[in-house]
Chains A and B, each alone.
Chain A
Amino acid sequence: DQQVKQNSPSLSVQEGRISILNCDYTNSMFDYFLWYKKYPAEGPTFLISISSIKDKNEDGRFTVFLNKSAKHLSLHIVPSQPGDSAVYFCAAISQIQGAQKLVFGQGTRLTINP
């Protein structure tokens, strides 16, 4: 039961252009979402987050949009830079027993071409 889905395994974008990564979720109880970036041989690092009370959050070159009615969020990176090449994971916070856990999508490998 994949509650968070990233349907594009890979994305290739030219340097300087906009990268758009998409994520869909099925559980309407999710109320907080995060994007992580992962380089090889490193753990995921937090990039940006959004609460369900907002529809947009911006941090420098990174903007996350949330469409609750469509259960869809997207990460926009503009302008894209070579160092942005990594695997990007979308995640939602879910309550489980006494803990909070992250429910991750499958990831999208972003490649920025010079």
Chain B
Amino acid sequence: ETGVTQSPTHLIKTRGQQVTLRCSSQSGHNTVSWYQQALGQGPQFIFQYYREEENGRGNFPPRFSGLQFPNYSSELNVNALELDDSALYLCASSAGQRQETQYFGPGTRLLVL
């Protein structure tokens, strides 16, 4: 059984560009949540996907969007990158929507110049 994996591990982009981050959920998990962790802060909830539908969104602008695929893997897309988007992006998967038993991936560190 593999855990949650994310790609790429690191990424450098410039302001205005677009980025796609990927997450493979743990086997048997149908729910994926995405979090943004800025330097020195705790992770902040971006949104959650359950059975390919977005079913909850945090306080992030529409230029943050996502997808979940039939195999429950997920993508996070960020358009029109801003300097403040520089952060560690974490995805977490769980079996069902309850958050007590979710597992986090190692994250993708994004730097926007």
A binds B: yes
State the A residues within 8 Å of B (CB): 4, 6, 9, 32, 34, 36, 41-46, 49, 89, 91, 93, 96-107
Q: What are 6 A-to-B residue pairs whose CB atoms are below 8 Å?
A: A43-B105, A96-B58, A98-B50, A99-B56, A101-B45, A106-B42
Asked if B42 contacts A43 (CB within 8 A), the reply is no
Asked if B58 contacts A101 (CB within 8 A), the reply is yes
Q: 1/0 contact trace for B75-113 toward A, CB 8 Å?
A: 000000000000000101000011111111111000000
Further contacts, 15 of them, CB under 8 A, given A97-B57, A98-B50, A103-B45: A43-B4, A43-B103, A43-B106, A44-B43, A49-B100, A96-B57, A96-B58, A97-B56, A98-B55, A99-B50, A99-B55, A101-B33, A106-B42, A107-B40, A107-B42
Q: 1/0 contact trace for B50-69 toward A, CB 8 Å?
A: 10000111100000000000
Residues of A near B35 (CB, < 8 A) are: 102, 104
Q: Once bound together, how far apart are the Cα atoms of A103 and B58, in whole Å?
A: 10
Residue B48 lies at the interface, judged by CB distance under 8 Å to chain A: yes
Residues of B near A106 (CB, < 8 A) are: 40-42
Asked if A34 contacts B100 (CB within 8 A), the reply is yes
Residues of B near A99 (CB, < 8 A) are: 33, 48, 50, 55-56, 97
Contact flag A102-B45 (CB < 8 Å), given A43-B106, A45-B104: yes
**From residue A4, how far is it (CB to closest CB) to chain B in Å?**
7
Q: Once bound together, how far apart are the Cα atoms of A45 and B90, in whole Å?
A: 12
Asked if B55 contacts A43 (CB within 8 A), the reply is no
